[in-house]
Structure 1
């Protein structure tokens, strides 16, 4: 009986730890169109676009702004940012 109580207590503690971990997880708040807006731009290597995507994922406000831009402005932004940070 004592062994069963110990097992039950251990399981209870494990469930509490899982619940705490789930509560502490924050969902990734990313604009749903960001990946497509970046990775479908022509004229850039996939590696360069991935670098820009990584930056935009790290900087939410810029990512949201990038998605809102007209396609021509996205190209200008990518040329400017990649010229400063990638090439």
Structure 2
């Protein structure tokens, strides 16, 4: 009877240890989940900044295209380089 009692006690300790181990791992998983959630928030904020920057760059590109449209490269009169598009030929 004493041997059975000792065996049951050892089994109970083993179960308690396993439960504690599981509880520790669940706590670690929850902590990791919070960390991932925070990092996802940072990624989302970065993506928004990139999108805003991209929109700004697209606007600047359109402005540059409008400015460049005022010029052409050389002309039939022999002018070299960028020549205003409205310049008269000689």
How would you bin the TM-score normalised by the shorter chain? 0.3 to 0.5
TM-score normalised by L of structure 1: 0.42
| Higher percent of residues as strand | 2
Q: Identify the structure with bigger relative contact order (alpha carbons < 8 Å, sequence gap 6+).
A: 1
Q: How does the TM-score come out when normalised to structure 2?
A: 0.41
User: Which of the two has higher C-alpha Rg?
Assistant: 2
